[in-house]
Chains A and B, each alone.
Chain A
Amino acid sequence: MGRYQDVFDSLNRAAMIPFFVIGDPDTETSLRIVKTAIDAGADILELGIPFSDPVADGPTIQKADIRALKAGMTPQKALAFIAQVSAYKPIPIGLLVYYNLIYQYGVDAFYRDFKQAGGTSVLVADVSIDDAEEIAPAALRAGLETVFMATPNCPDERLQQVVKYTTGFIYTVSLLGTTGERQRFSTLAKPLIQRLKRLTQTPVCVGFGISSPEHARQVAADGANGVIIGSRLVKIIEDNLNDKDQLYCQLQAFLAETLNALKTVQDDTSAN
């Protein structure tokens, strides 16, 4: 367990935040993948519980969800997984879930158990800021931080609501669309980061479509406090299902290169 602010305070660069689906392609491999990412210098982890109908996700993460579900992953097992990750290293862990999974578990019970497992925040992909009251108070009661999404098409009044409800970091969606790798990095991210920076001191972490160390460097240069890399990493898993050594090796190399890219951008540029 760890607090986001401690991480952001301790870095003079943008945080590297890898995303994985818990249990992809199976629990054991998934744990080794997450440990590889931690060893490669992840500052924060973003982990997803697989869902049968992930409407915010593109094909790469959809396939990861299917692999993890086929291998038997459940919300209960995901919490046990998170406890194992926390035991390996006390790193802040943001969870990404679809609402029905925590609704069935019971929102308060889920947040309590997630906190107990060492988690830091829960982002619910299909709950907008309009329904923050349904989940944010429960998160705070459980001692968790809160994370909500900001998107390029959010007007400033909505961004203000996002700011109001967010204690951890603002999950800033770089584009209009689902998760997935992109050739070019979205031009919509920079203006959104700038709008947020005018509104708040709360850290701004950018995700969706960040597919290369160069993209990561660019987002950091655009002023992001953290860079969330999902589909690109999950694709490495998909491409190396039959060769685990190769899988860990490629993940390690990609993250090391990304970290180096982030180190080339010093923090004082992120102030505006």
Chain B
Amino acid sequence: MKQKGRYGTYGGFYVPEVLIPAIEEIEAAFLQFQNDASFVAELNALLTHYAGRPTPLYHAQRFSEAAGCSVWLKREDLLHGGAHKTNNALGQGLLAKVMGKKKLIAETGAGQHGLATAMVGALFGMETKIFMGSVDVARQNVNVHKMKLLGAEVIPVSGGTCTLKDAINEAMRYWTANVDAFYLFGTAGGPHPFPMIVRHFQTVIGTEARRQCLDQMGRLPDFVAACVGGGSNAIGIFSAFLDDAAVKLVGVEGGGKGLDSDHHCATLNKGRPGILHGSQTYVLQDEHGQIHDTECISAGLDYPGVGPEHAYLKDTGRASYVAVSDEQVLNAFALLTRLEGIMPALESSHALAWLLAQKGTLPPDIVAVVNLSGRGDKDIGIVEEHRPIN
């Protein structure tokens, strides 16, 4: 490997020897093409004309009243595919293309990354296999159907809690036997070079948002909030504000049924440093280092690890990481839907819920940007189950 992929002491590439040539190949291609003029031009053209960038920054005035401060939404829900995942899938997909790869594999939780990968597989004519926990296949079945329509094969994974962690395990196993495939990793975690690559392709969110803040408000926000599963949408928007010391960065994790229960996925709140899926980072685990089961209403956050840069940002204090419960999330979902006519993904609703919980503690002239990482169509079944409309 050319680089160590470290964020402070976190990160690295703890994978079986057999996978090293595969990640070395991706690292080399990324370092070669990330600033290559024709690569950048092709990616930018796709982001603009295929995916619909830039996405708007929208001042949600009715929601602002409810939250007690000025709330602006970075509308990744409007991106083609319905979530920020498309930024990364297009970037890595194009990388796979210039590497001459014919096959894509990916893991998915909520199905948004699987969907984005399936779109890119269709666009570039590549054979696509998506690994997805069997619990997630059931609870995110709309996305499963979409992936199949796009021509991808969806492989349900049983094992563990049958969620995102298990899908990554199985995708990594498949990759060791099929090292010619391109593993299109979905979040800013896993072994180096993935945290670096995914961050790179998601920074477009932050770069746009920062410029839009200056253009539309003439100032930078006081807060930037984003939900954190593996951490790709969060690092995407945080990255542009890291040097703006006055801008507070808040990552919101899945508090599930409560941080004192065993039913959550709040890795940075309740985990401790360890090694999972190739990365040294915070991990939810027992005293011996066995990985904990997680539980969260939101399949995209339901993961016991987190990207290593977030572990570093937590330890350095540059970002803070909080958690909200499933109940708070459902309330936030309902509120944005009813007040703004925007149906947010349950993942993104975590960031909204944190803001709502600050009501009364922040002066009304405070400006908060929330990364609305995805839209909620995929979640209406889950919402209906918890809050039936009668």
Contact = CB atoms under 8 A, between A and B. Distances in A.
Interface of A: 51-58, 62, 69, 74-76, 98-101, 103-105, 125-131, 148-151, 153-155, 158, 173, 175-178
Contacts of A56: 16, 18, 173, 176
A126 B14 contact: yes
Interface string B220-240: 000000000000000000000
Contact of A153 (B12, B165, B169, B179): B179
B274 A100 contact: yes
B291 A52 contact: yes
B21 A154 contact: yes
Contact of A69 (B19, B21, B290): B290
B18 A151 contact: yes
Nearest to B4: A130
Given A99-B275, A176-B177, A105 B17 contact: no
Contact of A178 (B21, B165, B176, B288): B176
A53 B17 contact: no
B283 interface: yes
A103 B290 contact: no
In the complex, which of the residues B12, B15, B165 has the most CB atoms of chain A within 10 Å of its own CB atom? B15
A176 B176 contact: yes
The A interface, classified by DSSP as helix, strand, loop or mixed, is loop
B364 interface: no
A131 B16 contact: no
A55 B16 contact: yes
B160 A125 contact: no
A125 B16 contact: yes
Nearest to A129: B17
Contact of B16 (A51, A74, A126): A126
Given A55-B277, A103-B289, A177 B177 contact: yes
26 contacts: A51-B290, A52-B160, A55-B172, A55-B173, A56-B16, A56-B173, A62-B159, A100-B275, A100-B289, A100-B291, A104-B289, A105-B288, A105-B289, A126-B275, A128-B14, A128-B15, A128-B20, A130-B1, A131-B14, A151-B16, A151-B18, A153-B179, A154-B21, A158-B17, A176-B18, A178-B176
Contacts of A51: 290
Nearest to B180: A176
A57 B278 CA distance: 15
Contact of B275 (A103, A153, A175): A103
Interface string B1-32: 10000000000111111111100000000000
B193 to A, nearest CB: 13
B13 A53 contact: no
Contacts of A129: 17
Contacts of A176: 18, 176-179
B371 interface: no
Given A130-B1, A153-B179, A177-B177, A53 B160 contact: yes
B87 interface: no
Interface in B173-215: 173, 176-179
Interface string B267-294: 0000000111110000101011111000
Given A100-B274, A176-B179, A177-B18, 11 more contacts: A62-B159, A99-B275, A104-B285, A105-B289, A126-B14, A126-B275, A126-B278, A127-B14, A128-B16, A128-B20, A176-B178
A108 B289 CA distance: 16
B288 A130 contact: no
A178 B173 contact: yes
A116 B13 CA distance: 30
Given A55-B169, A129-B17, A74 B179 contact: no
Contacts of B178: 176
B289 A153 contact: no
A64 B99 CA distance: 38
B16 A153 contact: no
Nearest to B272: A104
In the complex, which of the residues A74, A128, A175 has the most CB atoms of chain B within 10 Å of its own CB atom? A128
A100 B159 contact: no
B176 A177 contact: yes
Given A75-B288, A131-B12, A100 B17 contact: no
B164 to A, nearest CB: 12
Nearest to B280: A103
Given A103-B274, A177-B177, A74 B17 contact: no
Nearest to B21: A153
Contact of B17 (A69, A103, A128): A128
A119 to B, nearest CB: 18
A96 to B, nearest CB: 11
Interface string B290-330: 11000000000000000000000000000000000000000
B288 A58 contact: no
A104 B169 contact: no
